[in-house]
A and B are shown apart, each in its own frame.
Chain A
Amino acid sequence: MRLSTVTWRRFKRNRLAFAGAVVVLALITIALGAPAIAPYEPTAIDLHNVLSPPSAEHPFGTDDLGRDVLSRMIYGSRISLSVGFVAVGIAISIGIIIGSLAGYYGGILDSVLMRFVDIMLTIPTFFLMLTVIAIVEPSIWTIMIVIGVTGWMDVARLVRAEFLTLKQRDFVLAAKTSGAGNLRTIFRHILPNALSPVFVAATFGVAGAILVESALSFLGLGVQPPNPSWGSILTTGKDYIEVSWWLSLYPGLAILITVLSYNLVGEGLRDALDPRLWETEGP
């Protein structure tokens, strides 16, 4: 039985994490199937139905231009999820490369790379993003790249720490004495065993990236109108919060539930992947 099977078994036992995973999967399905699921075009303006409260026709109401909030949120989930995944993908790629090099080769390379990490960590990320987006044209791609490029340091540190312990482990030494070169040792023996904490960090990272994207869109620096994003719906909502509560409540809840679900999945993964518990699991 593979380790992943054991991990899955242990993950399932954690009900909250399992619930989180169900929500995450549902959100992914919604995002992928948005055109089929959404009852209206997300950008279709209907000036006869401006700011109408939730009804059978518009379950989550309409916004100031009469656009269906539910449809906009369904399309908005595409933005949130893709920003989350792509940004975290960029972050963990950079983090794994830098962390692996530093941890495996050590010495001067390690010192240089880790000082670079320290420098990156002194920069207040959110303001760096604001600066970059002020210079470059804001788009979903800029956001993804900026979040990714400013978010890899924790992953690099995690991977480096894993490499430092793993490269002294007997099975890695045994691989070397079997004649394995550096590349084989890194990719076959160290990296696969170093990834568990990276998965956990990545899951939390997706939650963080979704929040950052919402915040940027809320400030008008993220996804540009008329394209919908949870953050930008929320911005409209704040102007009408006294008359149209649904404009703020539903996207706010969506962000809350999504971020909470990812965090629950992350915690469940962390427990399920805990190597200290591997050995106790019988065949």
Chain B
Amino acid sequence: MAVEADLPKSVSKVGEELAEPIIEARGLKKHFPVKRGPMARTEWLRAVDGLDFSLGRDTVFALVGESGCGKSTVARLLLKLLEPTSGEMLFRGRDIAPLRGDALKAYRRAVQIIFQDPFASLNPRRNVLDTLSEPMKIHGLAEPSQYEIRVLELLSKVGMGDVLGRYPHEFSGGQRQRICIARALAVSPEVIVADEPLSALDVSIQAQILNLLQDLRSESGISFIFISHDLRVVEYFSDEVAVMYLGKIIEQAPSVELFKEPRHPYTEVLLASSPGLEPGAKKRAVLGGEVPSPIHIPSGCPFHPRCPKKFSPCDKVVPRLQATSGRPVACHLWNPY
């Protein structure tokens, strides 16, 4: 890489206002080796390429971007299902990379995940009681005699009745997603990472699940990292939004500001192309082309080949995520280069 972005330590306003962030990413990178054939040179897929963000208490932080921008990799890094290539993920100020054994177990009690595909995220051979009591068993959160009662409580939290003896294939996608949410809640976590929790569901079900998440948030004070490509959902649910493009955050702002006044051309197009519900809304802007391969990231600003506003420095100089204009944006239009 010719020009390396030197990102500020913390760019989250919410994180600064509330004393200590729960989760903080510093220069987080995850590169996957890609080798085509035994003789080929190893190339690197830069899924996450230098990410800084922080999550405060009782907030919803949204990561937005097209598919392939590295969102799900961030989720897996957060859960320590993957190890970062470089950079750190801090939980309460401590790097999670060296956690092993009991310390790792404790971390996994604090941070939970909801996956995108509810059909893949439940063990088909275990019934609801088995699935939901397992976290309690592992962490010793209840006496075995209490499992049934506790699981029923969890189920009622997610709006389900007594389905203890039933198996995943007997449920619809929305019901399964509720069970997945109940599993995440079973350990009373501080943070839930929701990796596109709605995109595999029907639109009518999406609203139900989103309402459920909203209720949980206001009742329990759990912080969310909400990963999505759907901006309408993000607008409704999140406090702070970071827009990702090819493994980097290119704009970050409180949700209200971002939707009122997007600054990065990519954010603008993304917002404009999101199908609105108002009838007679003006014609949608359409983003041309595909996301470039994260193996061959374009020089300069990674977005320049698709950018409607590109000018002379864009294909040469990598824009930094800077808050010159009051909000962090990685674009030469807003920052001096």
Contacts and interface: CB of A to CB of B under 8 A. Distances in A.
B117 interface: yes
Contacts of A173: 76, 79, 81, 113, 115
A174 B121 contact: yes
Contacts, number: 78
Interface stretch (B7-15, B54-62, B122-130, B265-273): B122-130
Given A1-B170, A3-B124, A174-B180, A184 B119 contact: no
Contacts of B134: 175, 178, 180, 188
Contact of B123 (A1, A176, A189, A283): A189
The A interface, classified by DSSP as helix, strand, loop or mixed, is helix
Q: How large is the interface on A (under 10, 10 to 19, 20 to 34, 35 or more residues)?
A: 20 to 34
Interface string A141-179: 000000000000000000000000000011111111111
B292 interface: no
Contacts of B125: 3, 192-193
B135 interface: yes
Interface in A107-165: none
Given A170-B120, A171-B120, A193-B125, A177 B169 contact: no
B183 interface: yes
Interface string A1-36: 111001000000000000000000000000000000
Given A177-B81, A281-B169, A283-B170, A171 B122 contact: yes
A178 B125 CA distance: 17
A178 B138 contact: yes
Nearest to A174: B121
Given A180-B134, A283-B170, A193 B123 contact: yes
Which of A171, A180, A279 counts the most chain B CB atoms within 10 A?
Answer: A171
Contacts of A188: 123, 126, 134
Interface string A252-283: 00000000000000000000000100110101
A6 B81 CA distance: 33
B284 interface: no
A44 to B, nearest CB: 50
Contact of A279 (B105, B119, B121, B139): B119
A178 B115 CA distance: 13
Contacts of B119: 279
B258 to A, nearest CB: 29
Given A1-B167, A1-B170, A178-B138, A170 B117 contact: yes
A168 to B, nearest CB: 10
Contact of B169 (A3, A180, A189): A3
B182 to A, nearest CB: 12
Given A177-B112, A180-B134, A171 B169 contact: no
B229 interface: no
Chain B binding surface, main DSSP class: loop
Given A3-B169, A174-B115, A178-B187, A278 B79 contact: no
Contacts of A172: 123
A240 B79 CA distance: 73
Contact of B138 (A174, A179, A275): A179
Nearest to B169: A278
Nearest to A275: B124
B108 interface: yes
B180 A278 contact: no
B109 interface: yes
A172 B121 CA distance: 8
B170 A177 contact: no
Given A170-B117, A193-B124, A278-B124, A180 B167 contact: no
A173 B82 CA distance: 11
A277 B126 CA distance: 18
A189 B130 CA distance: 11
Given A174-B113, A174-B180, A175-B123, A279 B138 contact: no
A162 to B, nearest CB: 13
A179 B121 CA distance: 15
A177 B79 contact: yes
Contacts of A174: 113, 115, 121-122, 180, 183
A41 B315 CA distance: 93
A170 B121 contact: yes
Contacts of A278: 124, 169
Nearest to B80: A177
A5 to B, nearest CB: 9
B75 to A, nearest CB: 10
B167 A179 contact: no
Given A170-B117, A173-B81, A279-B119, A180 B170 contact: no
A186 to B, nearest CB: 13
Interface in B133-153: 134-135, 138-139
Interface string B179-202: 010010011000000000000000
Nearest to B186: A178
A171 B108 contact: no
Contact of B167 (A3, A176, A189): A3
12 contacts: A6-B169, A170-B117, A172-B123, A173-B81, A174-B121, A178-B108, A178-B134, A188-B134, A193-B123, A279-B119, A279-B169, A283-B170
Q: Report the 8 A-B pairs with minimum CB-CB distance, sorted nearest first.
A: A170-B121, A178-B135, A179-B138, A170-B115, A283-B170, A170-B120, A171-B123, A179-B105
Given A177-B113, A178-B134, A279-B169, 7 more contacts: A176-B108, A177-B112, A178-B108, A178-B186, A180-B138, A193-B125, A279-B119
Interface of A: 1-3, 6, 169-180, 184, 188-189, 192-193, 275, 278-279, 281, 283
